Amino acid sequence: MIQSTSTKTRNRIGVCALFACATPMLIAQEQHKRDVADLYQLQAAFHRAASVSDPINGDSTEVIDQRVRDVLALFTNDAFLVLSVGNNARDGNYVGRGDPSDPSTCPQPSTTSMTRGTLCSFFKYVSGSFQPANKFVSLAPSYKTSFEVHGQTATVYFECHYFNVAADSSSGAPLWSPASRVVFDGGARKVDGRWLFTHVTAPAAGVPLP
């Protein structure tokens, strides 16, 4: 039996009602949701790498170097970071990724603010959470987090609130004392289907009022 055109149309409408036929707008909306979810995962990986693995004994040099590699892997090769927390000895530009096992690509910060070093220089020698003496964890208030996707690029904003979780000598419980608060205000780009940070300006964060 040959169906009429009107019957076919009604059948298609019925199927769409049941299974939500993919219109271009719906496809775009679903892609946007996936992109935002991926950016949240990217942010989570950043905080994971920036948090101590062993809050009791502290992390070894090998573990810290791996954490540095983990955080560097979240950035594009041409990424840069501008630190502006008000510390003139460390504030400035950190350009390119680098490798903690290669001093030529991970030098100690220079005295020139325009070219302090690489991102590796920043995380290995400047960022408090990667210093052997510190036992910091990085947390972020969700209501201060924002991602705006524009196709293959995105703007990124979140805050890193670092807490010292070393054990209290009197109780043995984590101190959970505030250590520092820094803003991550930058961008990301999709590279081979994966979101990576491209740049960041990092001033000190204020009190996280809602």
Express each pLDDT in 66-112 by its tens digit.
Answer: 999 999 999 999 999 999 999 779 999 999 999 999 999 999 999 99
207, burial (CB in 10 Å: exposed 0-12, middle 13-18, buried 19+):
exposed
pLDDT of residue 209: 73
Assign 18 a pLDDT band (cuts: 50, 70, 90): very low
More confident residue, 25 or 62: 62
pLDDT at 61 over 80: yes
Q: Are 195 and 188 in contact (CB under 8 A)?
A: yes
89 dihedral zone (left: phi>0; alpha: psi -120 to 50; beta): alpha
Express each pLDDT in 118-173 by its tens digit.
Answer: 999 999 999 999 999 999 999 999 999 999 999 999 999 999 999 999 999 899 89
- Residue 187's SS3 state is strand
Assign 24 a pLDDT band (cuts: 50, 70, 90): confident
Q: What is the rounded average pLDDT of the residues 42-49?
A: 98
Claim: this prediction has a pTM higher than 0.85: yes
Distance CA 186, CA 102 (A): 27
DSSP code of 152? T
Assign 6 a pLDDT band (cuts: 50, 70, 90): low
Q: Which long-range contacts (C-beta less than 8 Å, at least 24 apart) are formed by 42-48?
A: 42/74, 42/188, 42/195, 42/196, 42/197, 43/140, 43/145, 43/156, 43/158, 45/70, 45/74, 46/71, 46/74, 46/138, 46/184, 46/197, 47/138, 47/139, 47/140, 47/160
Residue type, 8: K
Assign 20 a pLDDT band (cuts: 50, 70, 90): low
Q: Are 127 and 50 in contact (CB under 8 A)?
A: yes
Alpha helix stretches (DSSP H) within the chain = 5-19, 24-49, 61-72, 119-125
Domains in the chain, start-ordered, CATH in brackets? 19-203 (3.10.450.50)
